[in-house]
Structure 1
C-alpha cells in the first residue's frame, strides 16, 4: 500500500513539473513572439490580449479574473476532480505571463541593442527582428508544444477549456468543436481593436492552426503505444519483472512449427516511452530472447486511453426525448 502511494505521489509530482514546464513555454511563446506584434491567439489569454490592445489592461489580470469566475462555475458543474490541476494552472500561468513580460521589458531597458523594435504601447521588444510572420510561426509552435505538455499530464489551462467542458456536458458537441468556435470568436474580435487589421487577423488564424497542429503532434507522440511479443524460456521471470513496472502482461500458448515444441509467448502493450525500459528488463534476464515490437494505432482500456464512441440512440430513446420536451 505504501509503495502504491509513493508511486502515485511521484506521478503527481511529475505531472505538476511537466504542467509547469508547459505553461512556461506557453508564456514565452505568447509574450516574446505574439504580444509585441499584437497578434491575437486563441484561448482566454487571447481574449486578454484583445482587451490589452484596446485598453492597456494587463493580459494576466483578465486571464485570472475571468478564470476565477469560470472555476467557481466548473466546481459546481464538473466537480473538484476536474478543477484541481486547472486551479494550479490558472495561478501558475497568471504569474508566468506577468513575469515573462517584466523580464522582457527589463531586457529591453538594459540591452536595447538586442532588439530592433519595442512596441510603444506595451513596452515589449520583438525577439524576431522585423519579421512578423516568422514571429507568428515560432510563437504558435512554442505555445502548441507548451499546451501539449499540459494536456499530456492531464492538466488544463482553464479559460475556453472550462467553457467547452461545461457545454459538452449538456450539449451533443465535442470539446474540439467548442474550443475551436471560442478561439475563432476571440481571434475575429481582434479586428475591432485600435490596432486591428486584416493582416493581423490572418496572423491570428495562422497562429491558431499552427498551435493546434503542434498540440496534436505532442499529445499523439506522448500517447503512442507499442506492442511486444516476447519468446523466452525465462518467460516467468520476464513477466514478473515487467509486471513490477505496473504494466500488464498476457501469457499465450504457442508452438514452434519446425521444432513442434510448446512455447509460452508474452504479449505486452505499453507506451512508446516505456519501450527502452522493457528492452532493458528483457536483456537483463534473457539476452537470447526473441522479441517483436510493433506500433499500434490505438489502445483503449485501463492504463491507456478511454473509449470515446457515442452510443447510438434507439427509436425508443428518441421518442422519450421528444415526449420530455413536449
Structure 2
C-alpha cells in the first residue's frame, strides 16, 4: 500500500510539470516529450498518445526488466495518464516558454527522481536506456541524451524553433534535478533492493 501511495505521489508531481509544459506549448525528453509533440501535431489528447507510445516498451520491460518493475511502471504510466486527463479539464491558460521550461522541467525532475528512487519509472525511453545498460553496458545517460535529442529535433515541426530551444532547456533542468537527487540519496540507493533503479536515475 505504501508503495502505491509513493507512485501516486510521484506521478501527481510529474502531472503538474506536464500541465505547465503543455500550457507553455513546449515539450521535454522521453516518451512524455514524444507524446506531447504528437498531441500538438495531431491535436489529440496527451493521455491517449502517452498510453499508445508506451505499449511496445511494456513488452521489452516484461522480458528484460522483470514483472515487478513492469507492473510498477504500468501503474505509474496509467496513473499519470489519468491525472493528465483530469488536468486537461482545468480552465485554459497560457504560460511563457521560459517559465514552462524552468518550472515545468524542475517539477517533472522532482517527480521522476522520486519515482526512480522508489523502484518505478515512466516507461518508454527509461526502459530502453536500462535495457542497453544491462545488455551492452552502455552509459544510460548518453543513451537518454541521444534519444531526447532525436525527440526534440523531430518536434521542431510541431512547436517551432524557439519553443524547441526552450524544450532543450527543460531537458537540461530536468536532468540536473534528477542528478542532484541521485547524488543526495546515493547511500540509501545502494541497498540491494534498489540497485536495479540506479541506472534509471542516471538515465534521465
TM range (shorter): 0.7 to 0.9
Aligned to 2:137: 172
- The 5-angstrom pairing of residues 285-296 of structure 1 reads none
Aligned to 1:125: 93
Greater per-residue strand proportion: 1
Consecutive unaligned residues in structure 1, runs of 5 or more: 1-12, 109-123, 226-270, 272-298, 309-326
Greater per-residue helix proportion: 2
| Contact residue 151 and residue 219 of structure 1 kept, 8 A | no
Matched, 1:53 2:40: yes
Aligned to 1:152: 117
Q: With structure 1 as the length reference, what TM-score do the two structures score? A: 0.56
How far the C-alpha of 1:43 sits from its partner, in A, is: 1.3
Note the aligned Cα RMSD (angstroms). Answer: 2.2
Consecutive unaligned residues in structure 2, runs of 5 or more: 199-204
Provide the C-alpha distance between the structure 2 equivalents of 1:218 and 1:98, rounded to a whole number of angstroms: 28
Corresponding residue to 1:29 among 6, 14, 17: 17
Change (3 A) 1:75 1:133: same
Provide the C-alpha distance between the structure 2 equivalents of 1:47 and 1:300, rounded to a whole number of angstroms: 32
Misfit runs of 4+, over 2 Å: 13-16, 76-79, 165-172, 218-221, 299-306
| Contact residue 148 and residue 219 of structure 1 kept, 8 A | yes
How far the C-alpha of 1:149 sits from its partner, in A, is: 0.8
How far the C-alpha of 1:46 sits from its partner, in A, is: 0.8
How far the C-alpha of 1:168 sits from its partner, in A, is: 2.7
Higher relative contact order (CA 8 A, sep 6+): 2
Corresponding residue to 1:42 among 29, 38, 49: 29
Provide the C-alpha distance between the structure 2 equivalents of 1:25 and 1:132, rounded to a whole number of angstroms: 20
Change (3 A) 1:87 1:219: same
Aligned to 2:202: none
Corresponding residue to 1:100 among 62, 87, 100: 87
Provide the C-alpha distance between the structure 2 equivalents of 1:224 and 1:76, rounded to a whole number of angstroms: 28
| Contact residue 10 and residue 111 of structure 2 kept, 8 A | yes
How far the C-alpha of 1:68 sits from its partner, in A, is: 2.2
Structure with max Cα Rg: 1
